Each structure stands twice: as C-alpha cells, then as structure tokens.
Amino acid sequence: MAEIILSPIKEMEIRTAKVSNSVSLAQGVADFDTPECIKKGAIEHINQGDVAKYSLSPGIVELREAIEIDLNKREIYYDFENEIIVTAGAIEAISATLLTILSPGDEVVIPDPTYTSYQEAIKNAGGVPSFMALSEEDEWSFDEKKMEKKITTKTRAILFCNPNNPTGTIYRSDQLLRILEIAEKNNLYILVDEVYRDFIYDNQEFYSIGKFSKFRKRIIYIFSFSKSYSMTGWRVGFLATDKSLAQKILARHDVLVTCAPVVSQWGALAALEMAEEDKLYFKNTFKDRRDLICSHLDNLKEWFNYQKPSSSYFVFPNFSKKLIQALNREKEIKKYNFQDHQKDSLSWQLALDLLYEAKVAVVPGQAFGKTGENHVRMCFGRSDGDILKAMLRIESYLNKKYKQGLFIKSKVYF
C-alpha cells in the first residue's frame, strides 16, 4: 500500500495553531455558524429520540427523498431508494466509490491543480493518481488531447471537482461532454465533486455533469452540505449514481461508517427544506469577500498574478518572476524542517515564510499537484476582518522583505 501523507491543508492548520496571533486563510472553512433553522431541526429530532440509533445504511428516507427532489430541480434524476447514498461528507463518498471500483495499481486521472485529498484517497484505495495539467493561461481549462494521453490500460476513472478547488474556475458544458465521451470510449467512471456548486458569481453559467443522463452509468455525482450550509463539522454529504454501481458502493459505505451521523442527516434535511435564504446570504457575502481579497491582490501585482475566481471561496495567485527570483535566492540559506515532498518547493517556502514571519496561513500550491507549484491558495470564506488583516500583513511583509531585490536574512526554523 502506498504511503499516505497528511493533507498539506491540515498540516498548515496544525502549524498555524502553534503560531500565536496568526490569521488563517488556509483551510476551506467559512467563518459562519450553521444556520439556526438547521440547528433547530437537528435539536428537534434529538429531543424526539430520533438520533440514538443507526439509520438505514443509505440514510434516512426523508433526507434521501429531499435530495432527489432537490436534484430534480436541477434536472438531475436519481432514484432515492436505490441510487442515493448519504455519506459522511464528500470525502467518504469519494473513498467508498474508489474502494469499490479500483483494483490495486489501477490509475485515476485527476486534473491538476485539484483538491489535495483526492490523490491520497486514490492511494488509500490502492490506486495510483495520474495528474493531468490544466492550462492556466486558458483559464485553467482542460485539454482533451492531454487527457487522452493520460489514459492507459490501467486507467479506471477520472476524478475532479466542479467548480474547481483551488482555482475557483468552472468546467464548461462542452468540456464536460468531451470528458464523458472520453470516458465512454475508454470505459471509465467519472467522479465529480460539486461541493461548490452553490457559490457561482457574476451570473456565470454552471452546468452540472449530472444533467448528462445518457452517461448516468459512468457518473458518480458527489455533494457535501459542508460549504453550502456552513456545516463542515457535521460531516454529511451524498453520492448519486446508477443503481448497478450504487448498491456495490453501499456495501463499502456500510463497512466504512455503517451510516452517516444520524443527527447530521436530520440537520441536512432541515438545510434542504429551510436554509435557502441562508445559502443565498453566504453566496452574496463570499462574492463581496472575493472582491475584497482581489482588491488587495491588485496592490500586490509586483508579487502575484491571479485570475478572479468565478466560484468557490478560493483564489489561487501565482508568483511573479520577481518573487520567484527572491525566493530562489533565499532558498540557499533557509532551513525549514521540510519533508521530502516539500523540498525544492517555493510554494512551501513562501507559505511557511508567511506563516512564521507574517503570521498568515495560506496553502502552498504544490499541495494541489505539480501544476500548483509557484502558487498559494487563499480562502476568502473567512471574515472581512481576517481577510483584511491577512492581506495587509502579506503586503507589508513582502514589500519590506524583498524591496528592490534586497532581502533580509530569515531566521532558521526546525
């Protein structure tokens, strides 16, 4: 079994917890509490004695019905009785699916950069991640020729999130169709995590892959309540796929968790039934925060280039030539306690510089794949105050430290 490393996002959060007075834009967590109506919905069921026992393994009937109804509104059609499984967040849905479809050594193509835990989930299921670089100059779009080259006799699936984390970009419907056609031609499954589907800005079009019902036997549609309803700690999500596969995944899901936390399932039901306004409020607030963080990035043009994200709550700036040169010069004297996979990574170097010297946590781009190197991910789900504080600290730190190509010697950290 391949070695699994702790997600760099979690590693940054652990490091951040030890740095006093730090501000974190690292983990994808919003600063909002779960909406009141969701908490009350869950409390009501706690008081009624509905949460002490396991639910049916695929989830409580009421929630699966509500999920089917919600999907129907999005023109996505699955049978709640046989094709929808409530899971302990999106990552359990992904893990249960990969454990079901992969044999040792099977490859899974993942567009790069992408959410950092996908590669570990693939390894955890005995598979091998195969990275396919997205094209930054073309708004992080995917190139079908590159993807086809990545397909080998061992390839079993393609896994990606749409909208994409960390770039905040959206796959167009024609791109999705092309991916599906490639999957059809090569007999592959497509796992799509739509955790950020509810945060689309500037009237951009979002087309869900679930609408391509012609390919439903290949698609595993995945969603988590974590982001849309500020429920990251509740650990609840779901997957939907054709029953021929769903019943096999259900057996894995049962082995992994028996059922998703029942109290969270009732919370998720309340979310679907009552939290529409809260979701809209979150979206509008994130849009304002995106504009806030981007206005500060505009002041840092000397150090970063970025594409304004049209969804999610992440921005993924890349390093300017000047910043790369400065970091390379300092690399020779810097001594962080790097693990093998972090060595020679400028994104790790800057992320740790920012954490220990500016007291701001961001995620090094390398965490999201090779193409993510020389970038950092910043989360604008945090409060306005945190974003402002973090960006002013970054601005002040970079401007002071690397003025006119000069730099101050850093401390040595172990």
Partner 1 sequence: MKKIFRFIIERYLKLLTKIIIYRKKPLIVAIAGSSNKTFIKDRILEEMKNENGVRGNPRSFNTEIGLPLAVLFLPSGYSSIFKWADVLLAGSYISIFKKDFPKILVLEMGISKKGDMKYLLSIIKPFIAIISDIGQNFSDNKNVIDQEMANLVGSIPKEGRVILNADHSRVRDLQKKSKAPVILYGKTKKAQIKITKIKEKNNGQSFNLKLNNNKKQIETELFGVHNVYALTAAKIAVNEIRKIKK
Binding site for partner 1 (CB under 8 A): 36-37, 40, 48, 50, 53-56, 60-62, 65-66, 68-69, 72, 77-83, 213-214, 216-217, 273-274
Which string of b and e fits 365-387 if b means at least 16 CB within 10 Å? bbbbbebbbbbbbbbbbbeeebb
Nearest CB to partner 1, comparing residues 61 and 333? 61
**In the complex, least distance from residue 269 CB atom to partner 1, rounded to whole angstroms:** 9
Pairing of strands 376-379, 314-315: antiparallel
User: Measured at the alpha carbon of residue 106, what is the angle toward residues 100 and 110, in degrees to the nearest 5?
Assistant: 90
CB of 399 to partner 1, least distance (A): 48
- The residue (of 218 and 287) whose beta carbon lies closer to partner 1 is 218
> Dihedral angle at the C-alpha atoms of 241, 242, 245, 247, nearest 10 degrees?
90
- DSSP class of residue 301 equals T
Choice between 220 and 362, CB closer to partner 1: 220
Q: Take residue 145 and report the two structure tokens written for it.
A: 């020729």
Q: Tell me the C-alpha distance between 388 and 378, whole Å.
A: 12
Parallel/antiparallel/unpaired status of strands 128-133 and 107-112: parallel
CB of 216 to partner 1, least distance (A): 6
- Least spacing, CB of residue 120 vs partner 1, in Å: 33
Name the minimum Å distance from CB 87 to partner 1.
Answer: 18
The residues pairing with 405 across neighbouring beta strands, listed in sequence order, are: none
Minimum gap (Å) between residue 44 Cβ and partner 1: 10
Helix axes 61-73, 262-274, angle to 10 degrees: 40
> Is the Cβ of residue 117 or residue 241 nearer to partner 1 in the bound state?
241
Single-letter amino acid code for the residue at 141: S
User: Ramachandran region of residue 289, left (φ > 0), alpha (ψ -120 to 50) or beta?
Assistant: alpha
Per the structure block, which two tokens stand in for 407?
């730099």
Q: Which is nearer to partner 1, 45 or 359 (CB)?
A: 45
Residue number with CB closer to partner 1 (71 or 195): 71
